[in-house]
Every structure is written in C-alpha cells, then in structure tokens.
Amino acid sequence: MKNIILFFCILINTISFAQSTIKGKITSQDMPLQQANIVLKNTKNATISNEDGSYSIKNIISGNYEMVVSYTGFKSQRKTITVIDSIDIILDFDLKENNTLDEVVVTGTLKPVSRLESPVPVEVYKPTFFKKNPTANIFEALQNVNGVRPQLNCNVCNTGDIHINGLEGPYTLVLIDGMPIVSGLSTVYGLSGIPNSLLERIEIVKGPASSLYGSEAVGGLINIITKDPKNAPVFSADAFSTSWGEANIDLGFKANVGKSASVLTGINYFNYSNPIDNNHDNFTDVTLQDRISVFQKWNFNRKSNKLFSMAGRFFYEDRWGGEMQWEKKYRGGDEVYGESIYTKRWELLGAYELPVSEKMLFSFSYTDHDQNSVYGNIPYLAKQRIGFGQLTWDKKLNNHDLLFGTAIRYQYYDDNTTATTKADVNWIPSVFVQDEINLAEKHKLLLGARYDYNNNHGSIFTPRLAYKWKVNDNNILRFNTGTGFRIVNLFTEEHAALTGSRDVIVLEELKPERSYNANLNYLKKIYTKNGNFIGWETTAWYTYFTNSIIPDYDSNPNQIIYKNLNGHAVTKGISTNIDMVFNNGLKMILGATFMDVSKTENNIRTRQMLTEKFTGTWAISYRLPKLFLDIDYTGNVYGPMRLPLLGALDPRKEYSPTWSIQNIQFTYNKLKNFEIYLGIKNLLNWTPNKGNPFIIARADDPFDKNVQFDTNGNVQATPDNPYALTFDPGYVYGPNQGIRSFFGLRYTLK
C-alpha cells in the first residue's frame, strides 16, 4: 500500500513539473524589435522583448495555445502552438510594419493593388489617424493631411471646400466608394455628415486623374472608402462634446440577414445651437447647425463569391449664421441679416460584378440634392440630380494588365438665378482604356486615355502616362504626367457669388479649363538596427492651366468678374511626408509643402488669391502602456496668403499672417471595449480677427442701407463709412473658432 501511495506522489509531482518554456525573437526585416508585447491567450502569461528582440515565457503546462505579438506601428501576428511535456519551444515572429505603405489601394488605377506596387502615388489615411484629433465631419478631419487644406469661403455660413496643393475646391473630386457623389451643389456640404463609424480609409491622389474619373479631377481626388459589413464591428458608438456647446454622435450597427446578406448602418448627428460673438461684431463667430445623416450598406453573398453591394444615404441639415438677434422669422427679409440654408439630399450607390468568367464590374450612383437658402434677402433655390453608371473590364494578358471602361453621367441642374433661365440637362458619355505594362522585374509603365463628349463643349480627350521604378523594396521612384479638364458650374461652386454685396459679372461664355501636369515622386523606407522605422516620401509637381477661370476681385472692389483667363495659370511645388515609428512608443507623422500658385495675364504675373506659399502638418503620438494612456499632439501651420480687399482704403491686411492651429488629446484605454478621450483644440486660441480692425466689412450695415455711391457706381467715403466699404463676409482664410476643450467616449463591440 505504501508503495502505491509513493508511486502516485511521484507521478503527480512529475506531472506538476512537466512544464515547458516558449522562447524566440521578435524582428522586422531582420532587425530586432525591443519592447514588443507577447501575450499567451487565455492565460496570465505575458512579457516584452528585450534589446535584441528576445523573449522567454516559462512554466507553461501542456496544452494548445495561441500566442499574440504586437508592437506599435506594426501589424499584430498570431500563432497557434502545442506544448508537450517538458519540451522547450522556439517560436520566432517577423512583424510587418503597419504603416500605409503596403495598403491595398484602388483609387490610382481603379483596381486593387498594393500601394507599393501602384505606379500612381496614393496616400492612405485610416480612422486611427483621424482619431488623433476627433472632428464632427471629414471636412475638418482633413486639416492634418499634408498638402490638403479645408478652406472656409464665408464668415457667415461657414461653407467651405478642400484645396489640394493650392488649387481651389472645385478642382478636387470627392468620391464615396469610387463613385462621384460629392460635386456641384454638394461641393460645400458633401463632406459633412459622413458617419465616421463607416469609414474604412481615405485614399488621396494629388494631381490630375481626369483620364480615369473625368471632369473635376484636375487638382486631385479624395476617395472615401466605407467598411465592408463583414469586417465591421457588431456595434460602435463615438460621442463627444466641446466647451462651445457642440455635440456629435456616431453610431454603427452590423447585422446578418440570414446567409444571404450582411448590412451595416451608420448614423451621425451633430448639433451646435449656442451663438457666440467673441470678436464683438454682432455676427455669429461659428455657424449654428443641426444635422443628421443616415447611411446603410448591404453586401450580398453570392455563390460565385462575386461582389454585389448597395448603399444609400439620407442627409438633412439646417444651418444659419448672421446677426446675433436673427431668428427664423427674419428669414429672407432685410430687417436682420442672416444666411439660412436648408439642405436635403439622397444618395444611392452600388457595385455588381457580372456573372461571367471575365472580371467585369458595373458601378452606379444617383444623388438628389435640394437646397433652400437665403443670403440676407437674396433667395437661392436650387435642385441638382446626378446619375452615374460605369462598366469596367479588367483583363490580364501576359505582361499587360488592361482595364477597359465606359461610363455615362446624367446631370440636371436648376436654380432661381438669372444665370439659369431653364433647367440644364446634360448627358456625358465616356470611354477609357488603361494598360499597365510590366517592362521588367523592377519597371512598370502605365498608359491611359479617356474620351468624353459633352453637349455644351463637344469632344474632350485626356491621356495619361505613369512610370514606376522599384529600385528595391525600400526605394521607389514614380513619374506621372497627363492632362485634365474641368467644366465650370459657376453658382454651385463659387459661394462668393451669392453672399455679400459684390455684383457678379460673367463677361463671356465660359469654356472648359484644361491642364497639363507632371509630377515626380520618391519613396524611401529606412529600418534602423534597434527596430525603428522611418518612411520618407517626396513629390515635386508642375501644372499648367489654359482657359483658367479665376474670380477677379481686384479690377473692381464692388464686383466679382468671371471669364476665361487671357493667359495661363501655374501651380508648382514640392511636398514631403515623413512617418517615423520608434520602439519606445513614440510615433511621428510630419509633412511640409512649399508651392507657388500664380496667374499670368497680359504678361503680368500675380499670385493667386487665398493660396499660401507653405504649409506644415504634424501628428505626434506617444503611448504610456503602464498608464494605459495615449497622448496625441496634432497641428498645422500655414504661410501668408493674399486676401480679397474692397479697395485702397480698406484697413484690413492684404496678406494673412503665418498662423497655426494646434491640438492635444489624451486617450485612456484600459477599460474593455471602451476609450475615454479628452483634450483641447486650438491651444494657441488663434482666430483671423487678430491684428485686424474687423473681419466682416460693414457688419453694422449688412444691407448697405447707408452706403453712398457716385454716378459711376463707386462707393464714396463718408463719415459713417470712412473706408468706402460695402458689406462683405468674404475676407476669410481660417476658422473663427477659438480655444475649446472636448470630452468623448468610444465603445466598440467586435
């Protein structure tokens, strides 16, 4: 009996100590990663790698496990292992960097391709980038993207557009899932109300893309790509408010409809109803807004696994700005000045891969936009409908990667202005072709061309050429050149034509603008011995415009004159982005752009209005793992830009100062599924009224009731009007909202 008891004691003791050790190295590109996090799932075992990337986890009992390794700036990696008796296990991990250099992109060539392999430079920004400075809309979120500047166009209603490399907003095409949703009337509103909960990534191409996307893609394009319902969280919520009284909430829901489909719903609601007048001009500093947007996306499961998705969005916004005492009863009258805009729009878009052996995709979209607005006592009632259909055929033949496409665009536009005596209806058919040629292992050549026919302007041909030389995995050189064109919708794009007291003068029938562009892009990746990563990308560009349409504020201070430029316009510059990831938890994204945007007419060269010579952006993040705290410091800086004055006596500065908006955020992420964040926006409390006697001209007389004119229609200087001004809110180059704190909460259920 004693022998039996002794035997079991020895057996239990042996089993108890039959434990193993798991060890190995964490590397990336054969370089060690120090302080990588190693976790053995469903146990309390966790550790970090040392200075040479090595790690060791001891006393592991027999069983099946999953090990997860993570490191800031790199993609997490998982491996399953089986521990048997007391055998030590060697398990190494080689992590790939989680920067945007190797993302799959579609915008540059209309086909999914690794960003490193694309002959067209494409910048990719994920939701984590925009979370560093939470905003209520994508328009504001883009302020920290190098070379991209959200430009406000009116001090009263705060409408704006997106400038890329110094070019005005109408030169930028905005897409949702590759479809031209935002254009024309919606240019100034379409970037609001897209729920952040649906955002997968934003792809940006700087430079003409008209050979693939047609008109409006002259300066560049922004493609907002929404989540695939299959990969989205079951539920997500993100809500924040600011000390100014702004409130924003984003909700996302995912559901499966049997085995046939999955659906993703996103809801965004924003409200700001707290009039503030910190510069004491009796006008609201920030436009009041009440906005709701509902977006739903369906993915249908087909036996062939081919794509079929549909999405729709409803958007409604009520915004107003003006004199502090304005109420809705004054809407459209001349007692109290206010700019009130009701916007209602529907959007439908989808993609269907044809049930044939060839890879053919039909994409479509339709938008209906209804705008009811008044600018003081001037009503602007407009309707716009845009339908778009496109069929592409993706075909590979030997070393040729071909894309054939045909598209048709339907445009309906009508408003109550004298410029539109009847509704403008236009059909624009197009055909395009693209050939990506593998010349050799390291060399690719892309050739493309597009033909459009417009009822008003006839045939338009736009070719393109791109070349990529992959010197090695860490050095890539790209050259792109091509032409672009833009058809101008004056009143839908030029907000200054509707607000203020300037008369709009159109001297001639406007012809389409044409552009000729070339840019050179160089990308370099650097891996240091201690596991740090540096990505450096530089682009130089030159764009030449003919028939350019640039509003003339200079010839007559009481007029905005529109005509095709009798000469040419040029934008040229150089832009650099640096992305750095350090193994101590510090990450930095730095950008700088230097540019020269000018027009030449009658051999006189002038700098373009509202265009800076240099910009800088940064996003600096640092993680304190022991405190479960992330710190994000973001900001931008803009150089001086020429501003529209109302005459020689106007006391406001002709050039803006160098100015900067800076923000800081703290995020606590210890709680499961929750993130708590708070911070301060506009740390320097900068607003454009600093250094100026006023921003809005004649704010005390917005209907010009006390302005006197001479027989030639020129404003006369009087004791009541010593600077000879008329009411004008167009002197604007930056946000008029000062320092404010914010607090928010995120919840995600996977």
pLDDT tens for 479-520 read 999 888 777 665 554 555 555 556 677 777 777 888 899 999
Q: Can you tell me the distance from the alpha carbon of 647 to that of 707, in angstroms, rounded to the nearest whole number?
A: 14
Strand partners, 461: 451
Given a cut of 80, whether residue 739 has pLDDT beyond it is yes
The dihedral through the CA atoms of 505, 559, 688, 570 has a sign that is positive
CATH of the domain at 502: 2.40.170.20
- Looking at the structure, tell me whether residues 339 and 351 fall in a common domain: yes
The two three-digit tokens of residue 227, written as one number: 């989540």
Kindly state the average pLDDT of the residues 100-124: 75
User: Mean pLDDT for the chain?
Assistant: 86
| CB of 186 closer than 8 Å to CB of 384 | yes
Token couple for 365: 């979209």
Question: Is residue 334 very low, low, confident or very high in pLDDT (cuts 50, 70, 90)?
Answer: very high
The reported pLDDT for the residue numbered 489 is 61
Q: Which residue in 266, 265, 270 sits closest to 239, CA to CA?
A: 270
662 vs 683: CA distance, rounded Å: 5
Q: What is the pLDDT of residues 683-692, one digit of tens each?
A: 999 999 888 9
509 and 494 within one domain: yes
- 219 with 253, same domain: the answer is no
Task: Please state, for a pLDDT cut of 90, what percent of the chain lies above it.
Answer: 45
- E strands within 129-286? 148-152, 160-164, 172-176, 179-182, 199-206, 220-226, 235-242, 247-257, 261-272
What is the C-alpha to C-alpha distance for residues 475 and 535, in angstroms, rounded to an integer? Answer: 10
Backbone angles phi, psi at 171, to 5 degrees: -85, -5
Q: Per-residue pLDDT tens for 225-272?
A: 888 888 788 999 999 999 999 999 999 999 988 888 999 999 999 999
Domain holding 204, by residue range, is 102-225
Specify the amino acid at residue 151: Q
What Å distances lie between residue 87 and 18, 48, 580, CA to CA? 9, 22, 40
User: Looking at the predicted structure, is the pLDDT value of residue 12 above 50?
Assistant: no
Task: Give the single-character DSSP code of 729.
Answer: -
Compute the distance between CA of residue 203 and CA of residue 161 in angstroms, rounded to an integer. 17
- Same domain, yes or no: 217 and 86: no
Q: Would you call 750 exposed, middle or buried from its count of C-beta atoms within 10 A (0-12, 13-18, 19+)?
A: exposed
pLDDT higher than 70, residue 187 = no
Give the DSSP per-residue string, 682-741. Answer: -TT---TTTTSS-SSBTTT-TT-TT--B-TTSPBPPBTTBTT----B-----S-----EE
In this structure, the answer to whether residues 475 and 442 fall within a common structural domain is yes
**For position 395, what pLDDT does the model report?**
93
**Tens digit of each residue's pLDDT (9 = 90 or more) over 621-633:** 998 888 889 999 9
Label residue 744 by pLDDT band (50, 70, 90).
Answer: very high
Sign of CA dihedral 696, 697, 700, 704: negative
Same domain as 279, residue 425? yes
Q: pLDDT at position 11, please?
A: 44
d(C-alpha 177, C-alpha 298), whole Å? 13
Give the predicted TM-score (pTM) of the model: 0.84
C-beta of residue 107 within 8 angstroms of C-beta of residue 223? yes
Q: Is the dihedral of CA 700, 704, 705, 709 positive or negative?
A: positive
What's the total number of domains in the chain?
3
The pair of three-digit structure tokens given for residue 333, joined into one six-digit string: 């009258």
| Average pLDDT estimate for 357-376 | 93
Q: Which helix (H) or strand (E) holds 213?
A: helix 210-213
Provide the pLDDT confidence category of residue 15 given band limits of 50, 70 and 90.
Answer: very low
Rounded distance between C-alpha atoms, residue 715 and residue 699, angstroms? 16
Contact 424, 411 (CB under 8 A): yes
The 3-class SS string of 177-204 reads CCEEEECHHHHHCCCCCCCHHHEEEEEE
Domain boundary among 45, 72, 94: 94
Phi, psi (5° rounding) for residue 3?
-65, -35
Q: Which helix (H) or strand (E) holds 10?
A: helix 2-16
Do the strands 20-28 and 89-90 form a parallel or antiparallel pair, or are they unpaired? parallel
Closest by Cα among 564, 574, 587 to 513: 564
Q: What is the 3-state secondary structure (H, E, C) of 110-140?
A: CCCEECCCCCCCCEEECHHHHCCCCCCCHHH
| Same domain? 716 vs 578 | yes
Higher pLDDT, 1 or 743: 743
pLDDT at residue number 622? 93
Question: For residue range 550-589, what is the model confidence (pLDDT) as tens digits?
Answer: 777 667 766 777 778 888 899 999 999 999 988 788 999 9
Q: In the predicted model, what is the mean pLDDT of residues 214-223?
A: 77
What is the mean predicted confidence (pLDDT) over 299-328?
A: 93
Most confident of 31-35, 139-143, 643-647, 737-741: 737-741
Residues 6+ apart with CB under 8 A from 240: 134, 247, 248, 677, 742, 743, 744, 745
Q: How far, in Å, CA of 721 to CA of 708, rounded?
A: 9
Check whether residue 198 and residue 260 sit in a common domain.
no
Judged by average pLDDT, the poorest of 32-36, 261-265, 543-547 is 32-36
* Of 105-114, 145-154, 330-339, 443-452, minimum mean pLDDT range: 105-114
Tens digit of each residue's pLDDT (9 = 90 or more) over 43-90: 878 888 887 889 998 888 888 888 888 876 677 788 888 888 777 888
Q: Which pLDDT score is estimated for 77?
A: 84
Q: What is the pLDDT of residue 79?
A: 86
Asked whether residue 153 falls in the same domain as residue 267, the answer is no
Q: Identify the residue with better confidence: 20 or 252.
A: 252
188-197, 273-282, 332-341: least confidently modelled range: 188-197
Gap between the Cα atoms of 484 and 571, Å rounded: 14
- Residue 151 or 327, more confident: 327
**Segments of 354-490 assigned E as strands:** 359-375, 378-397, 400-415, 424-440, 443-454, 458-472, 475-486
pLDDT given at position 479 = 95
- Maximum Cα–Cα distance across the chain: 126
Q: Which of 554, 725, 559, 735 is nearest to 651 (CA)?
A: 725
Last residue of a domain, one of 206, 225, 244: 225
Q: What is the mean pLDDT of the segment spanning 180-205?
A: 72
Query: 412 - beta bridge partners?
Result: 385, 425
- Same structural domain for residues 32 and 140? no
The CATH number of the domain holding residue 76 is 2.60.40.10
Choose one of 94, 119, 150: the last residue of a domain: 94
The residues with which 604 forms a beta bridge, in sequence order, are: 601
Residue 191, domain CATH = 2.170.130.10
Residue 511, pLDDT score: 78
Give per-residue pLDDT as tens, 625-667: 888 899 999 999 999 999 988 888 999 999 999 999 999 999 9
CB count within 10 Å of CB 707 equals 19
Answer yes or no: do 263 and 218 share one domain: no
Where do we find the tokens 């602007």? 380
- pLDDT, residue 45, reads 84
Is 208 found in the same domain as 248? no
